[in-house]
Amino acid sequence: MTPGLRSRVAATVATLALAFAASPAGAQDGVIVYTLGRDTLAIEQFSRTPTRLAGEMVSRSGAAVTRTQYDMTLANGRVTAAVVRRLQADGKPLANTPTEYRFAFRADSVVRQSVWPDSTQTRSFAAPNAFLSMPNFVYAPLEVLRAAPRHDSVPAIGIGSNAVGFLGLEPMPDGTRRVRGTSYPMLLSFDGNGLLQSVDGSFTASKSMGTRSRGRVDIAALATAMKPTGALSPRTTAYAAFSQGPIFINYGSPAVRGRTVWGGLLIPLDSIWRVGANEAAHLATSKTIQLGDMTLAPGLYTLWVQHTQAATWLIVNRQVGQWGTSYEAAQDIGRVAMTLATTPEHVEDFTITIRSLGQNRGAVDFAWGDKVATAAFTVRP
């Protein structure tokens, strides 16, 4: 987000000076701003009464700015009907998608209508006492689920899938609730009245955070000003050749975005870190290399890091082709302690460099934030 837009969002939320629409009398209004470090990814606005929960979310994460509108009818604390619309930044429907989705929630089933300009497709689901599954950055409806007698695991129906999923809020020892059944197990905090106060993704792959304010904002105006983030962690490749033998490391390159790195939010102490973002970091070597006490034959491997108080370890694993959160310790080939040094200047984007040290020796640098971890290796003739 540009500095001007960031200031505009902050000023809008702080002063609550922009009006989206008139709220019903007695409505509980809220705005949740979702951030990734210092950058705003999405803003959700909602208004709740005993019989209705209506809101809209704008997100700039990815290739486009998109909006999600939702309007839920409530009865005795349950969702009985809902309308969901997915829109472009200018308010037009997303291309090649229904103009809206209509839901009717019954005691033993759910009926979903996908409304197109020239037709309506209807599908029924055998899902008793079900809830509505919403896209990422739409968390306000979970206030309703939180108030339900059974909220740890309920059937859930979304706008895209033709299968019945599940959704739940798992109580945690600190009083928060962990979301189950979604892409990211976010931690939600509620106040004494059951109102959602924060969304914490610091322990998930998302790392996004949501904070609630009171009032209303102009989602349409914010959507017009927003620019897509593009790939948040673009894929890149480190390369070096030793005696005409190439060695590659392919990895996702996330940015610091004002967050703490080594031993902080991004690389917590003692955890197994995926070495970048998204898909696992893959090492491909055409030469046999000696890395600590590991002899790696030509082939493909994945790399992982464990940063502890005592040492920072590079882990080599034989499992390949997986997402970066799918780590299996049983597949480890071994590990080697790395040196950890302070970088000459701040490294915003996580960067891997493969260096030749001469005489078939090399080193791999993992630089991010204010530190660089280095592992030395030898290329066998």
- 264 pLDDT band, cuts 50/70/90, is very high
C-alpha–C-alpha distance, residues 192 and 90, integer Å:
38
- β-pair type (131-132, 154-157): parallel
Least confident of 26-30, 71-75, 93-97: 26-30
Mean pLDDT for the chain?
Answer: 92
Q: Name the β-bridge partners of 286.
A: none
For 335, how many CA atoms within 13 A lie in the half-sphere containing its CB?
A: 16
> Which DSSP string do the residues of 195-262 spell out, in sequence order?
-EEEEE-TTSSS--EEEEESS---HHHHHHH----B-SS-EEEEEEEETTEEEEEEEE--B-TT---B
Residues 6+ apart with CB under 8 A from 346: 256, 369, 370
Spatial CA neighbour of 158 closest among 188, 127, 116: 127
pLDDT > 50? residue 21: no
Taking CA atoms, 352 is separated from 197, 240, 264, in Å, by: 38, 11, 19
**Residues present in the chain in total:** 381
Q: Does residue 2 have a pLDDT over 80?
A: no
Q: How confident is the model at residue 14 (pLDDT cuts 50, 70, 90)?
A: very low
**CA 77 to CA 53: how far, in whole Å?**
11
pLDDT, residue 11, reads 42
Strand, helix or coil at 138? coil
- Please determine, for residue 12, whether its predicted confidence score (pLDDT) is greater than 80: no
Confidence at residue 24, expressed as pLDDT on a 0 to 100 scale? 53
Does the pLDDT of residue 321 top 50, yes or no?
Answer: yes
pLDDT tier at 20 (50, 70, 90 boundaries)? very low
Q: What is the DSSP letter of 5?
A: H
Give the pLDDT band of residue 370 (cuts 50, 70, 90): very high
Instruction: Report how far Cα 132 is from the mean position of its chain's Cα atoms.
Output: 20
pLDDT given for residue 139 in this prediction: 98
Q: Where are the domains of the chain?
A: 3-225, 235-379
The fraction of the chain above a pLDDT of 90, given in percent, is 85
pLDDT in tens, 191-213: 999 999 999 999 888 899 999 99
Q: What is the pLDDT of residues 154-202, one digit of tens each?
A: 999 999 889 999 999 999 999 999 999 998 999 999 999 999 999 999 9
- Reply yes or no on whether the pLDDT at 350 is more than 90: yes
Q: Which of 366, 337, 362, 369 is nearest to 353 (CA)?
A: 366
Q: What is the pLDDT of residue 18?
A: 35
Please state, in angstroms and rounded to a whole number, the distance separating the CA atoms of residues 50 and 66: 28
The reported pTM is 0.85
3-state secondary structure of 146: helix
Average pLDDT of 213-238? 93
Radius of gyration of the chain (CA): 24
pLDDT value of residue 61: 85
The single residue listed with the structure tokens 């600590």 is 292
- CA atoms within 13 Å, Cβ hemisphere of 6: 10
**What pLDDT score does 231 carry?**
85
Average pLDDT score over residue span 70-77: 96
What is the β-pairing status of strands 235-242 and 294-296? unpaired
pLDDT at res. 339: 98
Q: Looking at residue 84, what is its pLDDT?
A: 98
Please name the amino acid found at residue 160. G
Q: What percent of the chain has pLDDT over 70?
A: 93
The β-bridge relationship of strands 165-171 and 154-157 is: antiparallel
Give yes or no for a contact between 313 and 337, defined as CB atoms under 8 angstroms apart.
Answer: yes
d(C-alpha 67, C-alpha 88), whole Å:
6
* Whole-number pLDDT of residue 82: 98
Amino acid at 52: R
Yes or no: say if 338 and 312 are a contact pair by the CB < 8 Å rule: yes
Q: How many of the other CB atoms lie within 10 Å of CB of 176?
A: 17
Structure tokens at 138: 């739409």
User: What pLDDT does residue 178 have?
Assistant: 97
